[in-house]
Every structure is written in C-alpha cells, then in structure tokens.
Structure 1
Amino acid sequence: MKLRNSLFLIFLLLNFTYCKSIRELQSFAKCEFRVATVEGTTLAGVNVQQIRKLTDLNLMQAAKITQSYAGGSLPLSLTVNVDVKNPNATPAAMNSMEWIMLIDDKEIVDGVVNDRIDIAANGGISKLPIRISTDLRKILSNMSTEEAVNMGLGLSGSGNKPTRVTLKVKPSILVGQTLIKYPGYIKVNHEFGNQQQ
C-alpha cells in the first residue's frame, strides 16, 4: 500500500511539473519581443559600433576591412539584446532557444541559445542576449565591398543605410529529461540604421 501511495505521489509530482513547464513555455510564446540594443559590433575585427559611414573609418580600419574582404572573408560579430516582456498572468520560461537571423528577408545565420530564461508574470521583463558571428563575404558574395560594409555598419545601428533584421526564435523547455520545443517560430522585427533618406 505504501509503495502504491508513493508511486501515486511521484506520478502527481511529475504531472504537476510537466503541466507547469508546458504553461511556462506557452506563456513564453505569448511574450512580447523587442530588440533593445546591439553591442560589440565588429567587422573584420574592427569595432564599428560607433561608425556611421565608410568615411568615418580611419585609414588603418578601412585597410583592414578592405584587405579582409579582398582575401575572401568579412567576419561580422555582434550581440543582439532582445527584451522579452511577459504580459501573462503566469510566469514564462525557456531552457533553450533556436534562432534564425534574416537580413532584408534573407536567411543569414542561425544558432542556439542554451541559457535558461525566467520571466515574471504581469509585465516582467528579461534580457535575452543573442551572440551572432558570421561571414558577410560568403553570404553576400554578389555585393560590392561598399554594399557589404554598409550592411555590416547598418547592423550596429550606426550605418547610413537601413537594414531590416528579423529574428525568428523557437523556445524550448526541459520537462524531466525531455526538451519540448514550441511548434513553429516567433518573429522579432527591427530596422537598424538611419531611416532618413
């Protein structure tokens, strides 16, 4: 009898944990996502976070970027900080998240965030950093050097040409030893760069 009662309690506990985790994932999917900041933008190893246009680069920076592009690569690194706001009456959470980054509607790079995020109910906000590294030269091979560099500058929020960036995110939550993925992707849109023509 004691064994049966113990098994029943374990079943109830597992069922409660499963239901709670699924509710947290469902709440996460109903959260509001906003690109808050972009940090640490480097292009070919040059910090371009505050560079507004190509002519703002000094001679050494311009030479380094040009040499990298001519050598067949234009490495871009940045961190996109996404604010996640939970308007729901229940807490939201995820254990990991797949993401895809699109620039001007073209898939550029994808990855996974393996950090747990918990967001309090009723307006709680958490920051979700997404670290991105890619080679613009390979992705945008049919662009001129200036076009590719302008796109890289635009991603920092400082370039002179708008760059439409979309992040598609798919959160997952761990239930016991099983990772449950949200069915489909949630879109996060943001336009970087000076929008004045």
Structure 2
Amino acid sequence: MLKKSSLLWIMPLLLVSVSCTQLKQMANFTKCQFRMSSVQNTNLAGVNVQQIKSLSDMNLLQAGKLTAAYASGTMPLSLTINVDAQNPNDATAAMNKMEWILLIEGKEIVTGTLNDRISIAPSGGTATIPVQINADLRKIMAKNSMDENINLGLGLVGAGNKPSPKLSLKIKPSIMIGSLTVPYPGYITLSTNFGTGS
C-alpha cells in the first residue's frame, strides 16, 4: 500500500500526465482536416427555404410571411451547418469547446460557442459537428432592402445541400485542463473542401 507521502508525489505527476494528454489531443485536433459539408433546416422568418432558390419559387403564403416579418422589423434566419472533421493523426484528437464565427459575403453575421466535447478517432476517423446558427438579417443587414435580405437568405444553400460560396465559417477549438480553458491561438477558416484552414 502506498503511503500518504508517496501519494502526494504521485498526484502532481498524474495531473501533468493528464494535462499533457489533453494538450496532445487538442494539438491533434488543430491538425485535423475540416470542411463545411452541408447545410440543413434553413428557415427564414418561419418559411422553410432549404429548397427555394428565388422569390419566384415561393407561393403567396410564403411571400406574405416574409413581407410581414420584414415590415415588423425582423427577419430571423436559422440553419444548421454540418462541419466534418477528419483526423489524420495516429492518436485521438479532441476538444471541449469550439467558438465559431459565421460570415455571409465576408461580413460577420453572428458568433457562438459549442460546449460539447468532440473526440475523433485516429488514422482517418471522421466526426460531424452540427453548428446551429440563429441570426436576424433585418437587424444585421439594416441597409439592405427587403428583396436583398430575402435573396441573401435564399442563396445560402447550393446544389446537393452544400454551403454556397456566400457562406464561410471560422472556428476556434479549446480544451479543458482541470478548470482551465486552453484555446487554440486564432481561428481556423473553413471551406467546403477538406483542409487545415487558415
């Protein structure tokens, strides 16, 4: 049986070992390949616009909802961007938190934080991370006309539910070491193709 004095020496070593493991997992996470793989559940002012590409594709009820929303001073947009992360490392990659920034046509629209732990298996393992977006285009794009805001909302989903070139997403992963949050230095910019970002 270990003496109390021996445990006092071992505990810091265990903490150092755990910390090193967690740091290694985050380092592996930042070496993963990322992409925005798809967009789902695109909703503009209560209208499902996932498959609607232009104003002419709408029926009168849908167009009426958007017009009424804009007139009331709001045009809420919600969608889910699925981010694929692929781990090329020979050890597990992980994070505890991920800050994100959504940009549309290069303009920062909304920011958020995902507080779920994500773990990705080594040697080509892949995980899909759903990022739920909620924003108000009427307030963010206040200088836009109604038609401009509607067309902006309709143009976010490309063929095959792929994100359109208008969309970009930046992410910053973090990992917890005890009660301390250790963030990755800077944001990783994602595209629709696998890459390490920039």
Instruction: Work out which of the residue numbers 168, 171, 175 in structure 2 matches 1:169.
Output: 171
Match of 2:95 in 1: 94
User: Which deviations, in whole Å up to 9, do the C-alpha atoms of 1:23-54 show, x marking residues without a partner?
Assistant: 01111111111111111110001111111211
AA partner of residue 109 (structure 2):
I
User: Which deviations, in whole Å up to 9, do the C-alpha atoms of 1:153-172 show, x marking residues without a partner?
Assistant: 1113369xx54222111111
**C-alpha contact (below 8 Å) 2:37/2:192 kept by paired residues:** no
Single out whichever of 137-146 and 99-108 deviates more from structure 2.
137-146
AA partner of residue 29 (structure 1):
T
AA partner of residue 116 (structure 2):
D
1:134 equivalent in alignment to 2:121: no
Structure 1 segments (4+ residues) deviating >4 Å: none
User: Which deviations, in whole Å up to 9, do the C-alpha atoms of 1:117-137 show, x marking residues without a partner?
Assistant: 000111110010100000001
Match of 2:66 in 1: 65
For the residues of structure 1 that align with 2:165 and 2:48, how far apart are their CA atoms? 18
**Distance change in 2, residues 1:73/1:52 (3 Å):** same
Helix, strand or coil for the counterpart of 1:115? coil
For the residues of structure 2 that align with 1:96 and 1:21, how far apart are their CA atoms? 13
For the residues of structure 1 that align with 2:68 and 2:27, how far apart are their CA atoms? 48
1:155 equivalent in alignment to 2:156: yes
**C-alpha contact (below 8 Å) 1:154/1:163 kept by paired residues:** no
Match of 1:194 in 2: none
Q: What is the CA-CA distance between 1:60 and the residue it aligns to?
A: 0.3
RMSD: 1.7
Mark the runs of 5 or more structure 1 residues left unpaired by the alignment.
192-197
For the residues of structure 2 that align with 1:186 and 1:163, how far apart are their CA atoms? 17
**Distance change in 2, residues 1:32/1:170 (3 Å):** same
TM-score (norm 2): 0.90
Q: What is the CA-CA distance between 1:68 and the residue it aligns to?
A: 0.5
Match of 1:49 in 2: 50
AA partner of residue 150 (structure 2):
V
